[in-house]
Amino acid sequence: MDAADTRVSDLLLDSPRTIVGVRAAEVATEIVAEAAGTAVAPRVVLIAGGGFTGRGWSAPLLTALRSYPLRMVIQSGLPTPESVAVLARQVRAHRADVVLTVGGGSVMDAGKAAAALSIRTDPTPELVVRACAEETGGEAAPPVIALPTTPGTGAEATPFATIWHRGQGRKLSLRGASLRPVTAVLDPDLLIGLPEAHLISCLLDTLAQGLEGAWSIRADQQSEWLGGAAWALLADLLDRRPDDWGAAQRHAALLAGHLAGRAIALAGTTVCHAMSYPLTLRHGLGHGHACGLTLAAVLRYNASVGADCADPRGPQRVRATIARVVSAAGVEDVEELARRIDTLAASPALPVAPDLRRDAIRIATEALAYDRAGNNPRRVDVQALTRLLAGITERDYAR
């Protein structure tokens, strides 16, 4: 085991405790018992995505959990104040000792939020919205176990959950220590059967989180290392179609997404994520696709940082951080890295990106209202983001 492998192994013992490369069904009873602590027959709420019962691994997982009082609920679509309130009431009604989330980022975020808010007497959509404006304590909330069925969201590693408020046209964030799962299981078999478009979108999300966790003005040595490590794991996957992936590639994708999630848990995301929110709300792009669509343009922009540097450590720090990610990705320079991102974002498997020129000013304005934009290492304003969005459109994403 080399130094990098040792460092990853040490990290995975931290919160959340992370189990890699095992079948989820084989460890399910053990991790539930550990999370429940003194509960003799822990009551479990399993929150899963809509496709759960159609996946080959779901039956063995349910069989493994049958000795516990179990309630399964389905979370479909993006988490909203309404859906989270419903889930929180179900967790509360079952008197859950443990919440087990099995799904992609939206499912995990919904489950994390529901567990944290289930200790409130009457979880309502209004309460969910209010809670997003404050730090959530929730020390008495049932612990969460996360089984990601997509790579790249990092939700199994973060102390926050994204909630979409369509009425306000905004993405909200619920934050707090109780939102971080106590255990994450990275089972490569859970990715089997995932559509190519979904896998590519998740890869784009990982790439964005890896870079943003490294160059954020809040980044430290650890988040920079985590971001670079995520890119190193994905370097060999960017030119391979997901149809050709075996267990090793699924393992690498899951671990890369997890490390990138740990990076943004420390450093936060930046302007790529800030622009992704209106792209999702107004144009219907999947989250990873929305982040990846602007990533190459923001990479080129940040690599040219100068007197407009927003990081108090100076532009040299920003350029050096980007250079380390370039090296981790095994490419020659920033432009080659940007081209690889552009190629992935233009994959025929993804939906055709919209013409953003007509809406660029509104997208830029709404992006700047999110605190994520302030984490970017080079200052951004409406003019700069509008130019970036117009440039993306001109690169003919229509196939």
- The per-residue pLDDT for range 158-178, each reduced to its tens digit, is 999 999 998 888 999 999 988
The more confident residue out of 107 and 137 is 107
Average pLDDT over residues 90-100: 96
At 134 the pLDDT is: 85
CA quadruple 338, 353, 392, 216: dihedral sign: negative
Average pLDDT over residues 18-29: 93
Sorting pLDDT into bands at 50, 70 and 90, what band is 312?
Answer: very high
The CATH number given to 196-394 is 1.20.1090.10
Phi and psi at residue 211, to the nearest 5°: -70, -45
Sorting pLDDT into bands at 50, 70 and 90, what band is 71?
Answer: very high
Q: Is the peptide bond between 16 and the residue preceding it cis, with omega within 30 degrees of 0?
A: yes
Average pLDDT over residues 207-219: 97
Task: For residue 238, count CB atoms less than 10 angstroms from its CB and return exposed for 0-12, middle for 13-18, buried for 19 or more.
Answer: middle
The more confident residue out of 4 and 156 is 156
For the chain, the maximum distance between any two Cα atoms, rounded to a whole number of angstroms, is 62
Q: Which residues are within 8 A (CB) of 75 and not within 5 positions of it... i.e. 6 or more apart?
A: 47, 48, 49, 50, 83, 87, 103, 106, 107, 110, 111
Sorting pLDDT into bands at 50, 70 and 90, what band is 138?
Answer: low
The more confident residue out of 262 and 10 is 262
Cβ pair 266, 252 in contact under 8 A: no
Domain ranges in the chain?
8-191, 196-394
Average pLDDT over residues 261-289: 94
Element (H, E) at 73: strand 70-74
Please check the confidence at residue 1 and state whether its pLDDT lies above 50.
Answer: no
At 397 the pLDDT is: 43
Which residue spans within 89-193 are E strands per DSSP? 98-103, 144-148, 160-165, 170-175, 183-186
Q: Which residues pair with 144 in a beta bridge?
A: 99
Q: What is the pLDDT of residues 338-368, one digit of tens each?
A: 999 999 999 999 998 888 888 999 999 999 9
Please check the confidence at residue 6 and state whether its pLDDT lies above 60.
Answer: no
Residue-averaged pLDDT of the chain: 91
Report the CATH architecture of 8-191.
3-Layer(aba) Sandwich (3.40)
Please check the confidence at residue 100 and state whether its pLDDT lies above 60.
Answer: yes
Cβ pair 364, 386 in contact under 8 A: yes
At 396 the pLDDT is: 45
At 233 the pLDDT is: 94
Residue carrying the six token digits 């018992």: 33
Sorting pLDDT into bands at 50, 70 and 90, what band is 3?
Answer: low
Please check the confidence at residue 13 and state whether its pLDDT lies above 90.
Answer: no
Residue carrying the six token digits 């909203």: 80
Element (H, E) at 211: helix 196-215
Average pLDDT over residues 22-33: 94
